[in-house]
Structure 1
């Protein structure tokens, strides 16, 4: 009898949702290797594997069985997902189109790699970024270039502005996941997207203020404040927004400096309308 994968929830789950992984139909105490793989939208291959031993009844449950080696060691129920590593060096796993899921292929092989034998069973599990009911709305309002993600329901919802770093473009995957947890999230581009500047040069705080005003004027965003989450350069900008703009209630910084670095940021002082030039 072939080995059978047990995945809960079956078929599809959210990218940030835990999955119970088990294999049944193995021989008692059978040594096996579990492998996971996926290809991103550009065809890059990501892989993870781990060596295990089934229990006395021929069941392998990753919530109870520790990995004996491979991409990770020890009790890691989600190890096959978080340990996915690019086949080529320096390639990052990034979801470019949140409207489609990643398909993760799972295999169980007889024996332990590198001497593992035949494939005993396969399964495919989809990991999605848009949970059921989450709405995705492209935004082109004034100068603002963004995508707004709204949770299911009528709202209003707590608002968040999501900023990424020096790679530029419009990154939606974090915003789409946060919307699945009840937040109205604006994934905001500020260069290298649409008609925005191609390069990260002088920036103007008024652009980010316009994004804040867009959120606070939206009928499904709960005021009077919004939060800002940023990675890298986006984290620096998040602190600058909190320093100079009203209605910023919280900042989450991911791998960012506490001041604006490398590039200049222009701020207009409302009392005198002079353009102030900040460079740290």
Structure 2
């Protein structure tokens, strides 16, 4: 009996949609290796593999069978996708054109050698970034440079501004996927794109306010407030927007710092100076990775303009972005811990890392509802 490899949904799916992967027609308890591969838009190859053993009936279902080793082990139904690694050092998988899919090749090889076994079955699957019917609308309104994604049906929809991190440009892959879940999502560029500033030395909240007002006034966006989704530098800017701007009712911050890092934030006559990196103390390992990124003492932070009522500062801590005096609920998390319960009542915030990625310092602002603490101190 010839082995067959099935992937459900068949043929195509969205990037954030789970897959069911199964192999049938194997010999009882036959050892096999499953291998996955895709090429990004610049031609870099990403691959993963895992060793399995068929059951007594000659079938293998990745939802029930644990991987015995390889790129991952244990029960990981989606491991062949999330465990892919690039063939170039430090290369990152980024989708730049959301109107085309990534094409994933899956193979079943006889035995437990990822490169030497006979190929028994093969399947090709397209992973898309826009659900059928999602609308993509380029935005060039005033100073705002963005792309708005709208669900297929008629609105109005809850509105979200999506902010990504250092590197700039306009990346749309998260906004396009969220639009398929019923949100009107605007991927917002804020530097290194089109006629925007080429660097991020100065972040002016008036630009983000203009973007917020554009989205709030859109006929297919449900008001009166909108939400923010930010990661890394985008998370930091999301906190700044929630601190300064009216009209933000919710914010999700992923691995964002609670102070301005590496750039100054301006809004009208207010200034938030940066916490800077002590570059002369950064050490590079033989692999090319930075072993640490020491931060200048927060004591060096001092407001150079009128202090915002939505920022807090102590002599020891410098200036901390805090949206808590606004009516904005904030959910903040790191990449390895996601809170499962919603924030209720008066907005509160738990963040780790504190100043930026990888920081272990414990901080607590003058507002008792605002906590920045080590992960080890949490009770979940």
Q: Would the TM-score normalized by the shorter structure come out above 0.5?
A: yes
Structure 2: gaps spanning 5 or more residues: 275-380
The answer to whether the Cα contact below 8 Å between 1:12 and 1:128 also exists between their aligned partners in 2 is yes
Q: Which moved more, 1:195-204 or 1:143-152?
A: 195-204
Aligned twin of 1:17 = 17
| Offset at residue 3 of structure 1 (A) | 1.6
Residue deviations 1:133-185 (CA, integer Å, cap 9, x gap): 11000000000000000011111000000011111000100001111111100
Deviates more, 1:259-268 or 1:151-160: 259-268
Distance 2:17 2:219 in 1: 29
What is the rounded CA distance, in whole Å, between the counterparts of 2:113 and 2:67 in structure 1?
13
The Cα of 1:56 is off from its aligned counterpart by: 1.0
Report the TM-score when normalising by structure 1. Answer: 0.96
Name structure 1 gaps, 5 residues minimum. Answer: 269-274
Instruction: Describe the shift of the 1:120–1:221 C-alpha distance in structure 2 as closer, same or farther (beyond 3 A).
Output: same
Task: From 270, 276, 284, give the equivalent of 1:276.
Answer: 270
CA contact (8 A) 2:4 2:23 kept: yes
Q: How does 1:52-71 map to 2 (within 5 A)?
A: 52-71=52-71
Structure 1 equivalent of residue 166 of structure 2: 166
Greater relative contact order, per chain length (Cα 8 Å cut-off, separation 6+): 1
Report the equivalent of 2:107: 107
Counterpart in the other structure of 2:249: 249
Is 2:235–2:257's contact at 8 Å kept on the other side of the alignment?
yes
Q: Distance in 1 between matches of 2:270 and 2:137?
A: 34
User: Paired residue for 1:205?
Assistant: 205
Q: How many residues are paired up?
A: 274
- Does the CA-based 8 Å contact 1:227-1:250 persist in structure 2? yes
Q: CA RMSD in A?
A: 1.0
Runs of 4+ in 1 over 2 A off after TM superposition: none
Per the TM alignment, residue 114 of structure 1 is displaced from its structure 2 partner at its CA by 5.1
CA distance in 2, matches of 1:103, 1:128: 9
State the Cα deviation string for residues 3-47 of structure 1 (Å, max 9, x = none): 211111000011000010001111111000000000000000000
Q: Which residue in 2 is equivalent to 1:120?
A: 120
After superposition, residues 1-280 of structure 1 pair within 5 angstroms as: 1-113=1-113, 116-268=116-268, 275-280=269-274
Deviation at 1:2, TM superposition (A): 3.2
**Which deviates the most, 12-21 or 108-117?**
108-117
Q: CA distance change for structure 1 residues 114 and 177 in 2, over 3 Å: closer, same or farther?
A: closer
Q: TM (normalized to structure 2)?
A: 0.71
Which has the larger strand fraction? 1
- Aligned-partner Cα distance in 2 for 1:170–1:142: 17
Q: Which moved more, 1:1-10 or 1:63-72?
A: 1-10
User: Which whole-Å deviations, capped at 9, do the CAs of 1:214-236 have from their partners, x for residues lacking one?
Assistant: 00110000011111111111111
Secondary structure of the 1:252 match is: strand
Q: 2:34, 2:185 → 1: CA distance?
A: 37
Displacement after TM superposition at 1:116 (Å) = 4.2
